[in-house]
């Protein structure tokens, strides 16, 4: 009877234990596989090359990877080496446990392991100490628990993400990137076999040391034999078999790439990225640009060029293709860790195209409009050209591509709704001070802007006036934040104007880039601290900066001669895009622009006396296009050579003269150009009064400006200036009905001013009248 009870107890006890274990599994909540899984940051170029791998917060290299992204050979080899019955057991391989117990305990032979993949994951995930009996029981329980709640694939995937691979390297993805420089999905069979044997003894077999590599090779050879044994029915050629046994080369942590460090730092600062980040960086192009920049600086070291920054973006998407923050990140002498792409610097003349674009958009000019390159004072601001010379009358296109300061300032002064300050603010340019603080010096670089912001502005010119933020992702998604800051017509015409800037006269560069038109502009900051060059070609926007991060000046830091040649050397490295380039510089049928014959001298529609024409663009309904009246036929008596009041053939013959507005006529005079003047009248034209063909235009004081009386002194009075028809000989100024005085065309009348609202009026001797309101406080 007693024996029977013992037998029943022995039979019931396992059943009760099993039931208790099942109850515990049912009551145990589903454990999370990755509750505190901290990942490193891995950055990849578009071709899959690793750019940089940064440590996780706990100073470990660890990256989570999906099972589908692990090479099948690595999965098979790991199961073959670690757990052949993985897909058959329930988390604990009882047959393996029995074999290990028999071999290690009963026979006192070599100790054998019996841990399954599930048990190893339990130890790693729950950080168990399995060197004692209690820890082993916990490991068994957690292994069963994981098997109860998760699929086999989930468990295998988690094992690969937790497995140790030597030192502070955890997870197969980090190990693959560090030891072989590639993602786990791209591992070859020999590489997969090597990684499969490391987790069993990561300290002994780590490739981080020579001794570890030797031990790793021994273990890998054993796995190769096992692999071949189990793959007998698989067609493996003898050459493939031999290749399996060839020694492998391993990288170490010292070989981890450190490419585009400024770019990666920017991503870390803005996105706090953890895990994989597939960037839009073109790895090979980045490397070529970096080598070319360093070679350029070496060639021109005698000029004091020591540092440069470069940003290349894809124009249509604003994806960053290359980012060079400095010539050498590790060079402390040039402050190499400063990022020249994001650093705020003075742009010099690099912002001028956008003043012209706004002037085109607001109907102030068209590309062939005549501007005046002459000194003009704006209160206490007295701008000068870079060469301190004056060109006189100059077309808008020539003024832009020759970077003349005075016409640009004049245009900025005429902008409204928005003015230039307002437009820059709208476009996201950070202007910390008020508009009055910057004044008209904005267009000359009297503020600071980063290369990244500047490139976004230039990209608008090739994107129909649309502004987009930079993007770093390899896969482009439509920009929800794009905004229209320029009309498509103004953007195209500005781009076409910049295309006419001649390229640097370097024969080799000229040959390499002659076939591809480039719209480009340069800039030189005050005191020669920054040299800029920015260009659009095909689907690229490229910006180049030369200078010193300590702010020191160098007279050789001139945009056109320092940054310009480097720009074209780098453009020569880019893939040719003839179709995209043609599309960039060809107006679409949707654009409201027309090209017509314009009088070459005046930039207006030619009248019948204009001697020469050229094609020019304008925006119908917007551009200030009118019939030119500069060339006029004057009747001349054939016998005296004096001017007649009307044409009386055959006594008189018609001779064409140029009648320029007074400000342009003065500009010609100051620039040394002598214009032919019509002769004096032979007699007074009593019955044929001469009338003005051009109404006066008040140039000073400016519209919409309120003058402060306290700032008006005897030495600094309000200047009254106007432009008159070329036939005008005298003009009279009035404040309300009060007469102020008379001047000849081109002369200035000064008025001390007084507080109040006034109507300013000017009347010329041919009947032309102009007026505007003036406010003085």
Quote the CA–CA distance of 98 and 315 in Å, as a whole number: 67
Q: What is the pLDDT of residue 96?
A: 61
Confidence class of residue 478 from pLDDT cuts 50, 70 and 90? low
Bridge partners (DSSP) listed for residue 483: 467
Architecture of the structural domain at 280-347+468-491+500-588: 3-Layer(aba) Sandwich (3.40)
Q: What is the pLDDT of residue 507?
A: 45
Q: What is the pLDDT of residue 183?
A: 95
Residue 520: phi, psi to the nearest 5? -145, 160
Identify which of 625, 631, 601, 612 has the alpha carbon closest to the alpha carbon of residue 726: 631
> CATH for 349-447?
3.40.710.10
281, 284, 286, 287 alpha-carbon torsion, rounded to 10°: 150
Confidence class of residue 531 from pLDDT cuts 50, 70 and 90? very high
Q: What is the pLDDT of residue 421?
A: 96
pLDDT tens-digit map of 184-202: 999 999 999 999 999 999 9
Q: CB of 445 within 8 A of CB of 525? A: yes
The token pair that represents 248 in the structure block: 């492998």
Q: What is the pLDDT of residue 723?
A: 82
Quote the CA–CA distance of 70 and 196 in Å, as a whole number: 12
Q: What is the pLDDT of residue 423?
A: 97
Q: CB of 113 within 8 A of CB of 100? A: yes
> Looking at residues 138-144, what average pLDDT do you find?
87
pLDDT tens-digit map of 642-682: 988 888 888 899 899 888 888 788 778 777 788 888 898 88
Quote the CA–CA distance of 67 and 49 in Å, as a whole number: 21
User: Is domain 697-776 given the CATH code 1.10.3470 in the classification?
Assistant: no
**Mean pLDDT, the chain, as a whole number?**
87
Evaluated on CA atoms 214, 219, 225, 227, the torsion sign reads negative
How wide is the angle at C-alpha 355 spanned by C-alphas 663 and 627, nearest 5°? 45
Residue 153: phi, psi to the nearest 5? -65, -35
pLDDT tens-digit map of 586-605: 999 999 999 999 999 889 98
67, 72, 73, 77 alpha-carbon torsion, rounded to 10°: 50
More confident residue, 500 or 1: 500
More confident residue, 134 or 489: 489
Residue 209: is its pLDDT beyond 50? Answer: yes
Residue 539: is its pLDDT beyond 90? Answer: yes
Residue 488: is its pLDDT beyond 60? Answer: yes
Tokens 């440590």, residue located: 55
Supply the pTM of this predicted model. 0.84
Q: CB of 757 within 8 A of CB of 773? A: yes
Architecture of the structural domain at 31-255: Orthogonal Bundle (1.10)
Q: What is the pLDDT of residue 689?
A: 60
Quote the CA–CA distance of 56 and 178 in Å, as a whole number: 14
Tokens 């090209």, residue located: 595
Quote the CA–CA distance of 695 and 731 in Å, as a whole number: 12
Question: Which stretch of 76-80, 311-315, 370-374, 423-427 has the lowest confidence by average pLDDT?
Answer: 370-374
Confidence class of residue 376 from pLDDT cuts 50, 70 and 90? confident
Residue 240: is its pLDDT beyond 70? Answer: no
Which CA distances in Å does 702 have to 486, 533, 707? 25, 33, 10
Q: CB of 81 within 8 A of CB of 226? A: yes
pLDDT tens-digit map of 708-764: 766 555 446 788 888 888 778 888 888 887 888 888 887 888 888 888 888 888 888
Quote the CA–CA distance of 63 and 69 in Å, as a whole number: 12
> Looking at residues 356-366, what average pLDDT do you find?
97
Q: Rounded to a whole number, what is the distance in angstroms from the first to the last CA of the chain?
A: 122
Residue 267: phi, psi to the nearest 5? -65, -45
Residue 105: is its pLDDT beyond 50? Answer: no
339, 344, 349, 351 alpha-carbon torsion, rounded to 10°: 110
Q: What is the pLDDT of residue 704?
A: 67
**Which of the given ranges, 26-40, 84-98, 142-156, 761-775, has the highest pLDDT on average?**
142-156
pLDDT tens-digit map of 106-133: 455 455 556 899 999 999 999 998 888 7
Which residue stretches of 231-282 are H helix? 238-245, 261-271
How wide is the angle at C-alpha 443 spanned by C-alphas 437 and 448, nearest 5°? 65
**Which of the given ranges, 385-394, 531-540, 747-756, has the highest pLDDT on average?**
531-540
Residue 328: is its pLDDT beyond 70? Answer: yes
Tally of CA atoms within 13 A in the half-sphere of 574 that contains its CB: 27
Residue 301: is its pLDDT beyond 60? Answer: yes
> Looking at residues 562-589, what average pLDDT do you find?
94
């Amino acid at each position: 009877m007693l024996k029977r009870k013992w037998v029943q107890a022995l039979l019931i006890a396992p059943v009760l234990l099993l039931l208790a274990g099942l109850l515990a599994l049912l009551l145990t909540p589903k454990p999370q596989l990755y509750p505190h899984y901290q990942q490193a940051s891995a950055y990849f170029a578009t071709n899959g090359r690793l750019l940089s791998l940064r440590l996780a917060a706990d100073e470990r290299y660890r990256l989570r990877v999906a099972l589908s992204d692990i090479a099948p050979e690595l999965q098979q080899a790991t199961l073959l080496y670690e757990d052949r019955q993985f897909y058959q057991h329930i988390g604990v391989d009882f047959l393996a446990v029995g074999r290990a117990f028999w071999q290690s305990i009963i026979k006192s032979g070599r100790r054998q392991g019996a841990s399954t993949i599930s048990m190893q994951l339990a130890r790693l995930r729950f950080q168990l100490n399995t060197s004692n009996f209690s820890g082993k029981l916990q490991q068994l329980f957690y292994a069963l628990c994981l098997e109860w709640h998760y699929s086999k694939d989930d468990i295998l995937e988690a094992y690969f993400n937790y497995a140790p691979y030597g030192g502070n390297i955890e997870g197969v993805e980090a190990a693959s990137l560090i030891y072989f420089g590639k993602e786990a999905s791209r591992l070859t069979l020999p590489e997969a076999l090597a990684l499969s044997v490391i987790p069993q003894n990561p300290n002994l077999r780590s490739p981080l040391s020579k001794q570890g590599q030797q031990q790793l090779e021994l273990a890998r050879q054993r796995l190769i034999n096992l692999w071949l044994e189990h793959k007998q029915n698989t067609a493996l050629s003898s050459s493939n078999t031999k290749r399996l046994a060839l020694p492998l080369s391993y990288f170490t942590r010292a070989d981890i790439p450190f490419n585009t460090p400024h770019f990666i730092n920017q991503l870390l600062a803005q996105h706090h990225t953890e895990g994989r980040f597939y960037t839009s960086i073109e790895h090979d192009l980045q490397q070529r640009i970096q080598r070319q920049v360093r070679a350029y600086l070496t060639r021109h070291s005698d000029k004091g060029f020591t540092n440069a920054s470069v940003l290349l973006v894809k124009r249509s998407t604003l994806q960053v293709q290359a980012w060079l923050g400095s010539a050498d990140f590790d060079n402390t002498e040039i402050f190499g860790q400063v990022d020249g792409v994001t650093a705020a610097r003075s742009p010099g003349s690099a912002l001028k195209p956008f003043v012209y674009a706004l002037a085109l958009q607001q109907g102030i000019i068209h590309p062939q409009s005549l501007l005046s390159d002459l000194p003009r004072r704006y209160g206490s601001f007295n701008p000068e050209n870079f060469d301190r010379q004056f060109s006189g009358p100059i077309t808008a296109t020539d003024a832009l591509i020759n970077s003349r300061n005075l016409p640009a300032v004049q245009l900025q002064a005429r902008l409204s709704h928005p003015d230039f300050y307002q437009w820059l603010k709208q476009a996201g340019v950070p202007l910390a001070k008020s508009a009055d603080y910057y004044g008209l010096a904005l267009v000359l670089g009297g503020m600071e802007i980063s290369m990244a912001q500047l490139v976004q502005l230039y990209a608008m010119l090739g994107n129909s006036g649309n502004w987009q933020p930079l993007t770093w992702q390899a896969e482009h998604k439509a920009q929800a934040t794009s905004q229209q800051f320029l009309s498509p017509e103004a953007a195209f015409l500005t781009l076409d104007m910049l295309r006419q800037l001649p390229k640097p006269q370097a024969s080799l560069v000229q040959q390499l880039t002659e076939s591809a038109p480039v719209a480009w502009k340069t800039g030189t900051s005050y005191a020669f601290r920054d040299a800029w060059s920015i260009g659009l070609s095909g689907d690229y926007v490229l910006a180049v900066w030369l200078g010193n991060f300590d702010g020191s000046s160098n007279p050789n830091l001139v945009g056109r001669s320092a940054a310009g040649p480097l720009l074209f050397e780098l453009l020569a490295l880019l893939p040719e895009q003839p179709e995209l380039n043609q599309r960039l510089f060809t107006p679409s049928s949707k654009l409201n622009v027309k090209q017509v014959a314009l009088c070459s001298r005046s930039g207006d529609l030619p009248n019948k006396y204009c001697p020469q024409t050229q094609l020019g663009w304008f925006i119908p309904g917007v551009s200030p296009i009118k019939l030119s009246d500069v060339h006029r036929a004057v009747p001349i008596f054939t016998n005296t050579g004096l001017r007649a009041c009307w044409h009386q053939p055959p006594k008189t013959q018609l001779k064409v003269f140029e009648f320029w507005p007074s400000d342009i006529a003065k500009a010609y005079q100051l620039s040394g150009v002598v214009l032919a003047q019509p002769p004096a009248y032979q007699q007074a034209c009593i019955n044929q009064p001469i009338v003005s063909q051009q109404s006066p235009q008040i140039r000073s004081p400016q519209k919409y400006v309120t003058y402060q009386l306290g700032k008006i002194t005897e030495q600094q009075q309000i200047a009254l200036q106007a432009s008159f028809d070329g036939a005008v000989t005298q003009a009279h100024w009035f404040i309300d009905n009060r007469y102020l005085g008379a001047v000849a065309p081109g002369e200035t009348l000064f008025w001390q001013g007084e507080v109040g609202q006034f109507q300013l009026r000017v009347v010329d001797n041919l009947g032309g009248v102009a007026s505007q309101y003036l406010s003085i406080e």
